[in-house]
Amino acid sequence: MNSSTTRDRVSPVDLPSRAGRVRVVCLGLSALDQIWRVDRLFTGQSEKIRSPDYTTLGGGMAANAAVTIARLGGSAAFWGRGGADPAGYEMRSAFVAEGVDVENFRLFFEGRSSVSGIIVDGSGERQIVNFRGLYPEVADWLPLEEVRQASSVLADPRWVEGAAALFGKARALRIPTVLDGDVADAEVFERLLPLTDHAIFSEPALASFAGSASDDSLPTLARFGCRVVGVTRGQDGVSWYEDGCLNRQASYLVDVVDTTGAGDVFHGAYALAIGGGLDVRDAMAFAAATAALKCTYSGGRAGIPSINDCLAFMRTKP
């Protein structure tokens, strides 16, 4: 572990000079996203709508976070599972093109890769259906000793055995752990939260697990021992509970084109910022700005900014 990235507290303007020394291991879901752009979303009844545009892109929570870290100038490794099928090889090639370390993105010949169908309307809102893939759950093949080289680690809740192994090793080494708290069964969070330093939920996930997505629900999760418990609220910003206090970061106002992957980008930027030594408030602001800029472009990864573009954007906003 690089202790200078976890003990020193630095300003966001110092992050570009430090980012190249920040290594983040991201573990969890990699999916191949098939994206249709439409004039309106489905209404919920049997119907057929026309799409003027279609594309196929790599996606997945931890996968998008890893790409975000690489785009921002950090060193990113993706640890996960896929099938030895066309989707798996396409995802691996996309990672390599972005500079993400895929040594431990394992493609199983007996597995099937995760694939998502995403419908995006003219305002940037979307509907998603995801096949999570089929592969072994065991994580005994992960090279956990490599965690010593990490500045922070991030996981989503889609591979519980892998996340528990990664977070357990990182916790033992006092390396910050960041959980992307997307919707999952309660027992998943009950297992992972005691190993988590920074738990940042989506609103639906917080409502499902805590019974409410209100800010008042955040302190109730402090019982798991997390340093930070937060929730992202899209255009309403992010709230978090830390050291007995409730805090808020407003969203950055932009012309939204596509919100796909915004939460994943937020988590990746946050993990990089924490690994780079920023305090929580500055990390939240940096992550919010990175996610906002992403939303100004179509596609989950196309709009991920460079670190300098992100900091320049933050200087122009209150």
DSSP-assigned beta bridge partners for residue 180? 200
pLDDT value, residue 121: 86
pLDDT value, residue 314: 92
Give CA–CA dist 69/66, Å, rounded. Answer: 5
CATH of 10-136+149-316, one of 3.50.50.60, 3.40.1190.20, 3.40.50.720, 1.10.150.120: 3.40.1190.20
pTM, two decimals, is 0.90
Angle between helices 280-294 and 307-316 (to 10 degrees): 100
pLDDT value, residue 5: 41
- Say whether 12 sits in a helix, a strand or coil: helix
Check residue 133 and report its DSSP letter.
-
Sequence spans of domains, the chain: 10-136+149-316
Strand 75-83 vs strand 23-28: parallel, antiparallel, or unpaired? parallel
Q: Which two structure tokens, joined as six digits, stand for 205?
A: 């996930």
Does residue 86 contact residue 115 with C-beta atoms inside 8 Å?
no
pLDDT value, residue 205: 97
Q: What share of the chain is helix, strand, coil (3-state, %, to 5)?
A: 40, 25, 35
- List own/partner pairs for 86-91 with CB under 8 A and 24 or more apart: 87/32, 87/113, 87/114, 87/115, 88/113, 90/32, 90/56, 90/58, 91/30, 91/31, 91/32, 91/58, 91/63
Report the side by side order of strands in the sheet with 126-131.
53-59, 31-37, 114-120, 126-131
10-residue mean pLDDT profile of the chain (318 residues): values are 50 89 97 90 86 89 97 98 96 96 97 92 84 94 98 98 98 98 97 98 97 95 96 94 96 87 96 96 96 87 92 86
The sign one gets for the Cα dihedral 33, 181, 250, 217 is positive
The sign one gets for the Cα dihedral 52, 116, 207, 43 is positive
